[in-house]
Amino acid sequence: MYDAKGELTISTMWMDYQSGIVKEQIKDYIFEDENGRVIVADDPVGVVGAITPWNYPIILSLVKVVPALLCGNTMVVKPSPFAPFAIHKIIEIIASEFPNGVLNIVHGGGEVGAELTSNPKILKVAFTGGTKTGSTIMKAAADTIKKITLELGGNDPGIVLEDFDLNDEKAIRRMVIGNFLTGGQICMIAKRVYVHRSIYEEFVKKYIETANKWIRLGNPLNPEVTVGPVNNSKQVQFVQSLVDDAKGQGCEIVKLGTIIDEEIFNKGYFLQPTLVLGADYNSRIVVEEQFGPAVPILPYDSEEQAIAEANKIDYGLTSSVWGEEDHAIRVARQIQAGVTMINTAALQGFDIRFPFGGVKQSGIGREFGPGSFVAYTEEHVMTVPKSGDLPYIPE
């Protein structure tokens, strides 16, 4: 329930914000001097295809739909087959305000996505999802040279510095939420945590205490529940395989939180949030994106080591640094990521007014922020020379 309300709140904020931005910025730029006049217009791209994921289906669709329509494009949206209903209804409502055919929704699996990314009538593709699928989309889009925006996977690191205040209960709670909100099924969740060895044991102790207070599992429609189920059985099996692998390597597995509805828990796709201690830096639970409620906490000895470990993975979506503010910012500047949050993580540090996206294999382009409309326009320059000879062309 918390996640559903939060998603709708962010969605309405985004629609209000984006409509104001586009009215201000989508207008002709005119330059004139003694040589003539130049008009620079932001033309719509044309037909846009959007492919959206199951974890936050409404906002991750509307972040594409809103600027695309406001810039004058038509659009076809394909939601994930694991979360089609809510966004289908919302697209129907929005589409009713436009002429037929302006905004459309199609359903299906990979074959429908393949058609959207290869059809020559579609001139732009916006996708949020896994890196492997993003790579496939790039290849398919290359044949017709489509514009693309890709927001892909992220194995987001969190670095806890030596000067982190262990008595800051709210900060530790933000870390717990930054690991397990939506059952860890958010692209910007902190998925691997590195803690300076000098404070490691005390940090882990306080982390477990805080997590056991905050995490309550059960029916997500129950307002007392803070962590609900995993989306589908395949994802349950994948996350469990990472935990089993870590356990087989001798890691300590700590189950977190309280199950407040055993019947629902046993029937659904639930995994109890899990802390993994003692993992190797190169173990699967560390180097693979879990996208579920299992997080490793690892000790480090030097700042240089922590930064190197954070950067060594091919992803670079978000990250977080925890400690004295100026010190944390100095470390943040050395992390390869599209977004780095200081003393917070996940949606707690997210702001629709600023661009969001990744580096390396975490994507191409940016969504949100004042420049998000640029991905859905083409600059069109019209030159109007004054009559007579131009001074820069010799006779």
For 181-232, where are the alpha helices, taking DSSP H only? Answer: 200-214
Tokens (6 digits) for 154:
């992220």
- Tell me how far apart the alpha carbons of residues 292 and 310 are, in angstroms, rounded to a whole number: 19
Domain limits for position 304: 156-349
Please, are residues 73 and 47 in contact by the beta-carbon 8 Å criterion?
Answer: yes
Please give the pLDDT value at position 389: 59
* Residues acting as catalytic residues: 151, 187
- Tell me how far apart the alpha carbons of residues 138 and 37 are, in angstroms, rounded to a whole number: 38
Q: Could you tell me if residue 390 is inside a domain? A: no
My answer on whether 171 and 309 are in the same domain is yes
Q: Could you tell me if residue 38 is inside a domain? A: yes
Q: Could you tell me if residue 395 is inside a domain? A: no
My answer on whether 162 and 303 are in the same domain is yes
Please give the pLDDT value at position 7: 83
Q: Could you tell me if residue 393 is inside a domain? A: no
Q: Could you tell me if residue 380 is inside a domain? A: yes
My answer on whether 123 and 166 are in the same domain is no
My answer on whether 301 and 249 are in the same domain is yes
Note down pLDDT in tens along the chain; length 395 residues. Answer: 556 777 888 888 888 888 877 767 777 889 998 888 999 999 999 999 999 998 889 999 999 999 999 999 999 999 999 999 999 999 999 999 999 999 999 999 889 999 999 999 999 999 999 999 999 999 999 999 999 999 999 999 999 999 999 999 999 999 999 999 999 999 999 999 999 999 999 999 999 999 999 999 998 888 899 999 999 999 999 999 999 999 999 999 999 999 998 888 888 899 999 999 999 999 999 999 999 999 999 999 999 999 999 999 999 999 999 999 999 999 999 999 999 999 999 888 888 899 999 999 999 999 998 888 889 999 999 999 887 555 666 65
Give DSSP secondary structure letters for 279-317: --TTSHHHHS---SSEEEEEEES-HHHHHHHHHSSS--S
Q: Could you tell me if residue 374 is inside a domain? A: yes
Q: Could you tell me if residue 369 is inside a domain? A: yes
My answer on whether 144 and 165 are in the same domain is no
Task: For residue 227, give the DSSP letter.
Answer: B
- Tell me how far apart the alpha carbons of residues 187 and 244 are, in angstroms, rounded to a whole number: 23
My answer on whether 142 and 245 are in the same domain is no
Tokens (6 digits) for 148:
């693309």
How many other CB atoms are found less than 10 A from the CB of residue 94?
20
Please, are residues 177 and 142 in contact by the beta-carbon 8 Å criterion?
Answer: no
My answer on whether 190 and 320 are in the same domain is yes
My answer on whether 302 and 362 are in the same domain is no
Please give the pLDDT value at position 391: 60
My answer on whether 193 and 121 are in the same domain is no
Task: For residue 360, give the DSSP letter.
Answer: G
Q: Which of 153, 182, 157 is nearest to 295 (CA)?
A: 157
Q: Could you tell me if residue 391 is inside a domain? A: no
CATH number, domain of 17, equals: 3.40.605.10
- Tell me how far apart the alpha carbons of residues 60 and 75 are, in angstroms, rounded to a whole number: 15
Overall pTM > 0.85: yes
My answer on whether 102 and 238 are in the same domain is no
Number of domains in the chain: 2
CATH number, domain of 171, equals: 3.40.309.10
My answer on whether 307 and 163 are in the same domain is yes
Instruction: Give the pairing of strands 318-322 and 252-255.
Output: unpaired
My answer on whether 142 and 166 are in the same domain is no
